[in-house]
């Protein structure tokens, strides 16, 4: 949980998320404050406030984070139940997306209900859901990935105090954001080895292909179309398919990008191991040219605060 405190209240043992320096003379972020030198460097800045994460370090009253929570609440029965719920949701999503790809009608009510149920899984058992969705078989990667992105997008939207209607729409957007991948031949999409330049171009076309497909359904809110098309854009304009920069990327789009990349980094693939949440968040935070740092910090806070029951 993020807490803002006056600069003169910081102590060693706190986990510093950010130091509010208008002139950015202290750029370091997301670290455990351990030394007198680090403490002095922060105190010497023009900052008035410091954001700390009390789940990862001591709180303003000097209390340490609660220990052993993960071990106590990782119930194998609950893990099995979440795994079953995710598997069933993935099968249902496969059917829904396949129906759309085939030119079927859009069931917005059904998609909204599915997104709400998926959000419930992530809200009640965030860490378990995160662990369950790390490992995916080749044939379910797109669907489980989309469920995970949808779940994290709803958690992040609620953390940002977005209204329930907007949060629900973002949940649907997460489920649909990668629909363009279903238009890619399986031999390319699930290829375990290195892609050729041509195959890479095919993969990179999936946001535009998905957008064109979803655009044929007028009942979809515009933000759903934007997230489908723009979730691989970067703040510096180096992303694709349009090369847009930060000023042209809405907050929901920036939110979706952070959730999409985080989920990809923390998932196992035939060609790579899964990164830990900390590794992924640190890697993304170190690249402000690509990702909205406020979103990265907020996602880290949401996951740190996650209930494990």
The model's pLDDT over 133-147, given as tens digits with 9 standing for 90+, comes to 988 877 789 999 999
Pair 282, 261: CB distance under 8 Å: no
User: How many CB atoms lie under 10 A from the CB of residue 301?
Assistant: 21
Collapse the DSSP code of 252 into the 3-class scheme (helix H, G, I; strand E, B; otherwise coil) and give the result: helix
Q: Where are the beta strands (DSSP E) in 238-298?
A: none
Pair 174, 115: CB distance under 8 Å: yes
Cα-atom radius of gyration of the chain, to the nearest Å? 20
Tell me the per-residue pLDDT of 187-230, one tens digit each, with 9 for 90 and over: 898 887 888 999 999 999 999 999 999 999 999 999 999 999 99
pLDDT of 180 reads: 97
Tell me the per-residue pLDDT of 235-269, one tens digit each, with 9 for 90 and over: 999 999 999 999 999 999 999 999 999 999 999 87
275 pLDDT tier (thresholds 50, 70, 90): very high
pTM of the model as a whole: 0.78
Both structure tokens of 101? 């790809």
DSSP states of 151-172: HHHHHHHHHTT--HHHHHHHHH
CA distance 210 to 206: 6
Percent of the chain with pLDDT over 90: 61
Closest alpha carbon to 82 in 37, 118, 56:
118
Pick the most confident of 25-29, 115-119, 131-135.
Answer: 115-119
Closest alpha carbon to 28 in 11, 8, 45, 12:
45
């Amino acid at each position: 949980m993020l807490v803002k405190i006056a600069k003169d209240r910081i102590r060693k043992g706190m986990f510093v998320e950010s130091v509010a320096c208008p002139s950015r003379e202290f750029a370091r972020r997301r670290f455990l404050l351990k030394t007198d030198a680090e403490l002095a460097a922060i105190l010497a800045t023009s900052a008035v406030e410091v954001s700390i994460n009390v789940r990862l370090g001591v709180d303003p009253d000097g209390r340490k984070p609660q220990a052993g929570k993960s071990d106590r609440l990782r119930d194998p029965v609950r893990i099995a139940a979440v795994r079953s719920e995710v598997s069933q949701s993935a099968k249902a999503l496969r059917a829904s997306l396949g129906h759309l790809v085939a030119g079927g009608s859009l069931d917005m009510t059904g998609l909204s209900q599915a997104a709400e149920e998926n959000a419930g899984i992530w809200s009640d058992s965030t860490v378990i859901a995160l662990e369950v969705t790390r490992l995916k078989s080749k044939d379910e990667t797109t669907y489980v990935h989309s469920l995970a992105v949808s779940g994290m997008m709803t958690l992040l939207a609620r953390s940002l105090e977005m209204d329930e209607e907007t949060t629900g729409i973002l949940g649907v957007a997460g489920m649909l954001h990668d629909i363009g991948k279903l238009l890619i031949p399986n031999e390319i999409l699930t290829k375990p080895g290195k892609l050729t330049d041509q195959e890479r171009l095919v993969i990179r076309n999936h946001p535009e292909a998905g957008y064109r497909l979803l655009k044929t359904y007028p009942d979809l809110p515009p933000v759903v179309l934007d997230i489908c098309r723009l979730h691989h854009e970067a703040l510096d304009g180096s992303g694709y398919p349009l090369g847009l920069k930060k000023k042209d990327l809405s907050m929901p789009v920036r939110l979706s990008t952070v959730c999409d990349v985080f989920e990809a980094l923390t998932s196992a693939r035939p060609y790579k191991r899964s990164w830990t949440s900390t590794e992924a968040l640190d890697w993304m935070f170190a690249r402000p040219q690509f990702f909205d740092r406020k979103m990265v910090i907020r996602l880290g806070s949401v996951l740190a605060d996650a209930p494990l029951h």
